[in-house]
Structure 1
């Protein structure tokens, strides 16, 4: 079985706005994020957030603000 290797930083150079040599950063300096937030809960609702996570109904990330 072939050994898994990490991608080189050159694999992202074809993406618009990506600076070669600085993977994970846009030309504006802001981090590139592909995360989708499904639902946001307050820390006081942590029990509800945990039940929501256990139900496996989310499409993206569950965020807890505290």
Structure 2
């Protein structure tokens, strides 16, 4: 049981270290654009204006 507890504590420390490193890198704008993929998923990286769509007026 002592080995399992020791392993879990080591994994927690490693996880915490990676979390701190990732937060540190994301705090800089130069690294954020390269590391943060949500801007690509949300579609805000390439802001292109499309032509407006015409709609059909429902009133006669």
Q: Which protein has greater RCO, CA pairs closer than 8 Å, 6+ apart?
A: 1
Q: Higher helix proportion, which one?
A: 2
Q: Give TM-score, length-normalised by structure 1.
A: 0.23
More strand by share: 1
Larger Rg: 2
Return the TM-score normalized by structure 2: 0.25
